[in-house]
Structure 1
Amino acid sequence: MPRTSRIAVPAALFLALSACATHAPEPDRPLKAALTTPTDAVLTWHDDRPGVAGHVLEFATEEDGPYTVLQYLPRQVTTYRHPDLIPHTTFHYRLRSYSGPTSAPARADRTDSIRFTWTDASDDEDGFLLEIRGKGATRYEPIAVLDPDVTSTELATLPGEKRASYRIRAFVLGERSNVVRLTTGE
């Protein structure tokens, strides 16, 4: 029986992940990190492989985790700023690519919420991403993460999202990047 999930638009997606699976890092696509202030980190990477739809950036305070998702990022984004970190704390970061097909775009004309339903044509997805392309925008960006096998969700819209385009993407996570370590200052 299909599961249903109800979500609201988050400012950032936070999701605790288990670090139980092990994959070899992607050595030719290293993640880099630097402190721009004693408590602000900037992470950068490059990935031009075909078929990559985007990346999942994760962090932890222990190298073995548990890791928490900072953000699901579209393919074109290759920099992330992690501001206002806890002083005198070591942070570990890693990156995972994701790939997967998208559904046909959907338009949203309701004023308060949108109900999305779709057919799950994949049997190996790690989940689904609800993506938005705002009026005048050139690309879709993830706004919600849904569990595998979910076939519907509801989204509470904000005023600027009433005339946006939406789509659902089944995604499969790729290998993890190298882990970078930063220790914050004062």
Structure 2
Amino acid sequence: MRILRAIEYRRMPWKNGGGETVEIAVSPDRATLADFDWRVSMATVAADGAFSSFQGIDRTLSVLEGHGLTLVIEGRPPKLLTVADPPLSFPADVPTSSRLADGPVTDLNVMTRRHALRHRVRKLHVEGSLPIATNAREILLFCHKGSVALGTQGVSATLHALDTATLQQPIALTLSADIASEVFLIEMMSG
């Protein structure tokens, strides 16, 4: 288990130069935008515009803060994505743009290289104890709101808002929270 604190995240410009990304984690370590296997990041979208294109990459987007944005993904009807919606998956190499509903939005972005990996992102409400079983080769737990304790195979840690844990091949995991908290479970699986 590796704990990544929000204060340690790396800030970098968007690929298309239109904003700033907060890189939470990337694999392999220190990979660039051209050679990552997977990447998890947050971004603030402050204006309407085109998304950066990533050839051969699949992406999942979740709205963390703000009033939402309408995604225009080639080949699909426009989709309003808000904080209340489940994560939305789409290819990162098709033309995609967004229109803000009402002011800036902060999003969580998960990307995997299509022929090497696939991923799944689930938003979980944690209050009390919540057991998690997964057969993913690697998982990330991103604490969006509140504070969550996690335990697996005799190891435990606490995540506060915007902290992340990465775990290799976990078999079973238990999340617990004294107050209502929200966590994104990101599973990385072989392609």
Give TM-score, length-normalised by structure 1. 0.23
Which structure has the higher relative contact order (CA within 8 Å, separation 6+)?
A: 1
Pair member with larger Rg: 1
If the length of structure 2 is used for normalisation, what is the TM-score?
A: 0.23
